[in-house]
Amino acid sequence: MRLINTKFDTDVSTLVLLSCRPHRLEHRSESHLNTMSPSSNTDGLSFFSSLGAAGIAAAINFPLWRASAIAHSGFTPPALPAQSMTFLPSSMRNSASLYKHAMTGPFPGLPAVVGGMTWARCTIFFGSDLLRSLVKETGTENAFMVNVLPAFTVSSFVQVVNMPIIRATITQQDPSFKTSTGNNMTTVQALKHIYSNNGIAGLWHGTSAGLLKTVPKYVVSIVVKDYIGELQKSRNEERGGQIGKGEMAMQSAQKSLAAGICGAVLTNPADVIRNEMFKDDALSLPQTLRNLNKGGWKWMLRGVDKNLIAVAAPVATTIFLTDLFKDVFGNEIRESGEVARRATRKLTRRFTNAEGKK
C-alpha cells in the first residue's frame, strides 16, 4: 500500500512541477485527456485491425489461393493414384487431384504470398477507408468521388507495386517449374529467372490484366461493403441503435460475405486472362483475348468455383475479422481511456484542494 501512495505522491509532485496555478493544471489535464481519448486512436486501431485480419486471412487461405492459381493458369497437378479415387465420380477426380496437390507440401512461395497479401489487403481496405474519409471532408457529395475513387486509387497502386511478387509466385505453382536439381524454385529464384529471360519488363508483364482483375474486385468489394454497412447502420438507428453483440457479428458476416462473393464472381474472367498472359510473355492483352475466344465464352467460367472460394473467402475473412478486432480492442481502449480520465481528474482535484488550503 505504501508503494501505491508513494507513486501517487510522485504523480502529484509531477503535476505541481508542470504548473504553478490550479487553472493551468486543469488546462493541462484536459489537454492530456484529449490526447488520450479513444477518438485519437481510431486510425491506429483501424490500421492494426486491418493488418491482423489480413495476415490471418492470407495464412489460412493460402491453399485455396494455390488451387485457384493452378486452375486459372491451366497447370496440370500430379494425378492421384487411381485406386484412391475409385469412390469419386469421374467429374470430381480432377478437382480432388487439384485440392490434394494444393493442400499438401511443399508450398512454394508461401512466405511471399502471405506477406504480399497481408500488406496488400491491409493497404487497400485501410487506405481506402482513410482516403474516403479525407474525400468526405472536402464536402463533395459526388458518389463516384466518395465511394469509387478511393478504392480505385489505392488498389491500383498496390497492384502495380505487388506485380513482380504476384508473377513470380504464380509461376512457382507450375509443377513443371523446377531448378536444375529438380527442386521447387524459391520466389527469389523465380524473380531472377523471369528477369534473366525477359528483362525488367517481364516482371510487370500482365499488369494490364492484373489491374483489370484486382482493381474491379476490390472496388466492387469495398463499395458493396460500405453500401451494406450504411443500410445496416440506418436500420439500427431506426431501432434505437441498441443491438447485441451476436446481431452485430451476424450483420458483419452478411456484409463480408456479400462483398467477397460479388468481388470474386464479377472479376473471374480477368483472373483467367492474367494467368494466361503469365504463361507466355509474347502475348499481349488483345492476343490473349483472341486465343481464349476461339473456344467460345466458357473460358470466362474457368476456375470460377475455385475463385469463389480462394478470393471470396480471404476478402470476407479480412472484412469480418477487421470489424471483430475493432470492436474488441476498441472497447479495451475506451475502458483504458476512462480509467485514465478518472485518475487524472482525481489528481487534479487533490492538487486543487491542496492549493486552496494554503
Question: In the chain, what are the domains?
Answer: 50-332 (1.50.40.10)
Residue whose C-alpha cell is 491482423: 52
CA-wise closest residue to 70 among 120, 115, 122, 109: 109
- Considering the chain, what is the average pLDDT of its residues? 79
pLDDT digits (tens, 9 = 90+) for 280-289: 776 777 778 7
Helix orientation angle between 42-60 and 62-73, rounded to the nearest 10 degrees: 60
What amino acid occupies position 245? K
Dihedral, 225, 226, 229, 234 alpha carbons, nearest 10: -150
> What pTM does this model have?
0.72
Q: Name the grid cell of 182.
A: 529438380
Q: Is the pLDDT of residue 107 over 50?
A: yes
- 54 vs 122: CA distance, rounded Å: 6
Residue 71 pLDDT > 60 = yes
Grid coordinates given for 155: 488498389
Query: What are 317's three cell numbers?
Result: 475473412
Neighbour count for residue 91 (Cβ, 10 Å): 7
Note the pLDDT tens digit of each residue in 239-263: 877 778 888 889 999 999 999 999 8
CA–CA dist 196, 4 (Å, integer): 67
Q: Which residue has the higher pLDDT, 330 or 109?
A: 109
4 band by pLDDT with thresholds 50, 70 and 90: very low
Residue with cell 475506451: 334
